[in-house]
Amino acid sequence: MSIRAIGHRGYPAKYPENTITSFHAAIELGVTHIELDVHLSKDGIPVVMHDYKIDRMTDGSGEIRHYTLDELKEFKVQGKESIPTLEEVLHLAKNKVTVSIEMKNTKLYDSFEEKVFQVIQQTEMIEQVYVISFNHHALMNLRQLSKNIKVGPLVNKMKRSHFRLINKLNAEYLAVKHDGIKNKYVRKLDELGIQVVVWTVNNIEQMQRFSEYPSVLITTDELEKYKKFKSDFSNIAEYKEVIV
């Protein structure tokens, strides 16, 4: 059974976030999307990690931008595996899932958008990815590089002004914090063909709430919990149809 959902940094409820193991587990579980975060190494290679420092996730310390890729590969994530590159994850995901790429801390890096886009091009994944960021200027830079790359602004709360932003960016997505959506805006975005993404939905109460928004794409850490919820919800819906 496939599950229409985004594995947030892979499957972090069971595996170290943003690792090949975590992404592989999410793909094997049958999600339609995975989400990852990228930074640039000292030598300009997009690498996958949420924080701009390696302290929380590895046996090393310091900022990603102060290490070359070879140096970063020497550190171990929770003592087990190396920090993956964007290229490595895209090869893993190719022809299997859609990948949401979040550009993090964009102001720390030179030519960030160009480096990320280059990897997307080289892996021939432009049809299987979309790029999100809180830095909407970075998304505009990316749009100027390509009219075909799919982009989406990250926001904490839906606002009317976001419709102008979406139009300016020619965006296909809007990624919103789970408690920041508004029903009237979801309906309007549906009419415009914009995919609403919410993050991060991990408990049953939140999952139940978003069952009222079938078009919205859910980002979650709890993939098996969400898969079971969707299966149970579907079974209940089918039972009600039979009774009626």
Strand partners, 129: 99
Catalytic residues: 8, 50
From CA 74, how far away is CA 142, in angstroms rounded? Answer: 31
| DSSP letter string, 164-195 | HHHHHHT-SEEEEEGGG--HHHHHHHHHHTPE
CB atoms within 10 A of CB 121: 13
Q: How far apart are the first and last CA of the chain?
A: 26
CB 8 within 8 A of CB 222: no
From CA 210, how far away is CA 134, in angstroms rounded? Answer: 23
Q: Output the CA angle 127-130-132, nearest 5 degrees.
A: 170
Q: What is the CA radius of gyration of the chain?
A: 18
From CA 23, how far away is CA 48, in angstroms rounded? Answer: 11
